[in-house]
Amino acid sequence: LTVVFTGDGAPAGNYGYTSSGYSVYEEENDRLTESLRTKVSAIKSLSIEIGTEVKNQNKMLSEMENDFDSTGGLLGATMGRLRTLSRGSQTKLLCYMMLFSLFVFFVIYWIIKLR
């Protein structure tokens, strides 16, 4: 098996470049390069859109975190007041109810006594 080379060092026959214009390989290479360029451009625009969406989502999450923090503080303060109210007011409430009952009892007794 012998391979014949042309004067410029490339093998002769179907494997070498033609002397006039582009070869089939160069045309396909250009077509694939353009296809790759289009795909890279699409990926670039998609990644820019993803970056913008991530920034918007991070901003929204930050606002939600602030809202939850303020709501948590308000809820904590309300629970503290409720605990304070529930600890000390049971005895006071019981005393007030007994005094009211005695008052009602004396009013009813007084009404019955006057008849």
- DSSP per-residue string spanning 22-79: --HHHHHHHHHHHHHHHHHHHHHHHHHHHHHHHHHHHHHHHHHHHHHHHHHHHHHHHH
Q: What would the mean pLDDT of 95-108 be, rounded to a whole number?
A: 89
Task: Please give the Cα distance from 60 to 39 (Å, whole number).
Answer: 31
Summarize pLDDT for 36-92 with one digit per residue, the tens. 999 999 999 999 999 999 999 999 999 999 888 888 888 888 888 767 766 765 777
pLDDT value of residue 9: 53
Task: Please give the Cα distance from 43 to 50 (Å, whole number).
Answer: 10
Domain range for 98 is: 30-114
Does residue 62 form part of some domain? yes
Does residue 103 form part of some domain? yes
Does residue 88 form part of some domain? yes
Does residue 78 form part of some domain? yes
Q: In the chain, how many domains are there?
A: 1
Summarize pLDDT for 17-43 with one digit per residue, the tens. 554 456 888 889 999 999 999 999 999
Query: Is the model's pTM score more than 0.75?
Result: no
